[in-house]
Amino acid sequence: MNRPSQTRSERRSAVIKALAHPSRLAIAESLQGGERCVQDLTRLVGADMSTVSKHLTVMRSAGLLDMEKRGLKVYYSLRCPCLLSFFECVDSLVPGNPKASSGKFNRTKL
């Protein structure tokens, strides 16, 4: 693999790893509706503030989130508006999903 392809693959891998946790997926899905403050995301995830902050740091490091501090509150927004399309594509691969296509991936165990 040439260097540019390897670098692109590494960046993509970092984004996928950053989404590879149920709490981070919930955060990403929530942020598709607009920015949220840390307190809102903490309630959403149902974990303590330090755990949610670690999740947000992983997501920011991968380039998925923007952060803005306003007074005492920190707000996060999604930098990747096409994430909803990605999730819809992933949902189409899940066996038993009524929206799943009849494509090759549905007939194969993932």
**Tens-place pLDDT, residues 73-82:** 999 999 988 8
The answer to whether the CB of 3 falls within 8 A of the CB of 9 is no
Domain that holds residue 22: 3-79
Whether residues 60 and 93 share a domain: the answer is no
pLDDT tens-digit readout, 39-72 = 999 999 999 999 999 999 999 999 999 999 999 9
Q: How far is CA 57 from the centre of its chain?
A: 12
Whether residues 22 and 66 share a domain: the answer is yes
CATH at residue 45:
1.10.10.10
Whether residues 85 and 67 share a domain: the answer is no
Whether residues 56 and 84 share a domain: the answer is no
Q: How far apart are the first and last CA of the chain?
A: 25
Angle at which helices 38-45 and 49-61 cross, to 10°: 110
What domain count does the chain have? 2
Q: Is 79 exposed, middle or buried (0-12, 13-18, 19+ CB in 10 A)?
A: middle
